[in-house]
Amino acid sequence: MLKKIENSAAVLLVMILAVLPLAFKILQDGLHIQVPESDAVLVNLVFLFSCFAGLITWRDNRHLNLASVSDKVSPKVHAVFAALNSCGVSAVITALFLDSLCQAVNPDQLPSFVWGIPLKFFYIFLPLCYFFILMLIVRTKEHPAAIISGILIGLFVSLGPITGIMYYIRGIQHIPVLESLNTVWLNLSIRFIFPLIIFMVLLAFTGMPLFVVISAVTYIAFSQAGGYVDVIPLETYRILTDKSVAAIPLFTIAGYILAHGSASRRFVELFKAMFGWFRGGTVVATVFVMVFFTTFTGVSGVTILALGSLLSIILAGSGYTQDRAESLITACGALGLLFPPSVAIIMYATTNYFSVDVISLFVGAIIPGCLMSFAMIATGIIFDRQKQRPAFSLQKIGKAVKDCIWELLLPVFICAGYFSGTFNLFETASFAVLYTVCLAAFIRRDFTFETTWKVIGDSIPVSGGVLFILGAAAGLSYFILDADIPGTLTDFITYYVTNKYIFLILMNILLLVVGCLMDIYSAILIVSPLLLPVAASFGVSPVQAGVIFLMNLSIGFLTPPVGMDLFIASYTFKKPVGRVVKGILPFIAVQFAVLMLVTYIPWFTTVLLK
């Protein structure tokens, strides 16, 4: 019953968020009726959705994590890893709950109102979310000793917030025992900061959710800097109420609806009719379909999971070997991140808004994205050994276009609405959700009302995982900037590296490693503010640096040994990871060659901006 209530509340919020932006647009621009504080209402509803989505994602065990090395070890070692994981997770969630609760009861935080509703009403759902996650951890009844130990550790490291809660609720100013113990923790965090951070990072490889790992590192960093952990939940609230971030879950859900309806089949039939008559035609169709759906979902793994089986059957039926077909699909999983309305580009521009705007980054990434896509097409054509192909038929193309016309109009409407200035990013995302729901439920009749509701519900853990990582990474990003780590890093690198071209190759190597170890969103929030000032010091434009950053991370998804898409492909196609790696090596080599072109020839990223 509780599960149904959680899902229904989250889906209802999605539909409200899909309708309200356009409703406000009509009232204000069409009927000239001003709606005060409309933006504040919308972004706080997104925050509310983020809390529900995070809880649902945890409940369904779908928070993003690195591939677990514990699967490769003996049962005894596996049990040790699982216990450490349980202890670490319960400690971090306990600390996050108490830290966020402290700010909820702090009268000086979020004193404003929106539509007469205190902002605290929305914010309180963050500590509630952490509390219910902690309850879910306790209810698992696995490794109870480790969980209890973790909770006690969480209480110990949260003595500062606990003291704050006692002060804000009961007015107790000094609790000597708690203050002394808190000082012990702060001293320990200073003395053992690097061992503690390394330990938490290592736990990521045992399957600990990435947002928990990032939160733990952030908590340790702020503790050793004086215990200002109150910044962490406030930064989570700030990033999840940003208008650009608010568009991410809506675009993700729109892409998920498309991928699970008949749109994928219609696109495949269209591109087969258009390109299937010449060598590599089905390859063109596959690449185009993968690019289109990844652009909207914002997560390459979702596209591989949703369309991998269908596209591999089509490619195999066109003369491709099964392994080669699956390798091509895996290699194309992240190409759509370079095309509008890519949520990765939105996130990058939002994080570095002082340096680059989202439209410039959209425009600058178009040619590199096309180059990468055409390179995959060319590589795929080389492996196409099919002798017999259907004849070219305008009649079939016309029929396929007619069958796919509503799907084809979606990107046209989105680009026209956004780039003309008719819609802002949030309104564009709102339109995308409404359009895809109407298309799937009423025009194509892929879903009934009940199944539409279910599909939206199934998509929530996808956006929930992304949003919680963003929330966790925001605090660490704040610490990095506040500690002036980018400036220190710039001075260090420019002292030892004086050649721009050497710097660029070193940056590419670093980002490839980052791409295979971190998800793209936490990498954007944590790493991009570090590298952008360094790149600028070498004369690299912010747009080119952003495109290089995103291209590296998309290739990083495929980089052995722990590129995320390798494991998603292994799961989707039911084959060992080693076999997946062997198959995609030619495609990685080609993508790296394109990356080098874009890195050393700025024209590709700047020509359309002139």
Q: What is the mean pLDDT of the chain?
A: 84
Q: Which structure tokens are listed for 288?
A: 């185009």
Q: How many CB atoms lie within 10 A of CB 416?
A: 13
How far apart CA 159 and CA 94 sit, in angstroms, is 11
pTM: 0.80
Return the residue matching tokens 């675009």: 251
Is 292 or 154 the better-scoring residue by pLDDT?
154
**pLDDT of 385:** 66
Phi, psi of 466 (to 5 degrees): -65, -45
Q: Cα dihedral angle (548, 553, 559, 562), rounded to 10 degrees?
A: 160
3-class DSSP state of 462: helix
Among 62-71, 108-117, 150-159, 213-222, the range scoring the smallest mean pLDDT is 62-71
Among 97-101, 153-157, 182-186, 200-204, the range scoring the smallest mean pLDDT is 200-204
Q: Is residue 273 within 8 Å of 400, Cβ to Cβ?
A: yes
pLDDT for residue 352 is more than 60: yes
pLDDT for residue 198 is more than 80: yes
Estimate the crossing angle of helix 144-157 against helix 125-139, to 10 degrees: 150
Q: Which structure tokens are listed for 480?
A: 């990095």
The radius of gyration of the chain's CA atoms, rounded to the nearest angstrom, is: 25
pLDDT for residue 371 is more than 90: yes
How far apart CA 237 and CA 249 sit, in angstroms, is 16
**DSSP character at residue 69:** G
Amino acid in position 48: L
Return the residue matching tokens 């409404």: 434
pLDDT digits (tens, 9 = 90+) for 25-63: 888 888 888 888 888 999 999 999 999 999 998 988 877
Q: Is residue 554 within 8 Å of 337, Cβ to Cβ?
A: yes
**pLDDT of 557:** 78
Q: How many CB atoms lie within 10 A of CB 488?
A: 11
67-73: average pLDDT: 57
Q: Which structure tokens are listed for 415?
A: 């680009």
334-354: average pLDDT: 82
Angle, alpha carbons 251-312-556 (nearest 5°): 55
pLDDT for residue 233 is more than 90: yes
pLDDT digits (tens, 9 = 90+) for 498-521: 888 889 998 888 888 777 766 677
Q: Is residue 127 within 8 Å of 94, Cβ to Cβ?
A: no
**DSSP character at residue 332:** T
Q: Which of 455, 437, 467 is nearest to 53 (CA)?
A: 467
pLDDT for residue 473 is more than 60: yes
Among 124-128, 210-214, 389-393, the range scoring the smallest mean pLDDT is 389-393
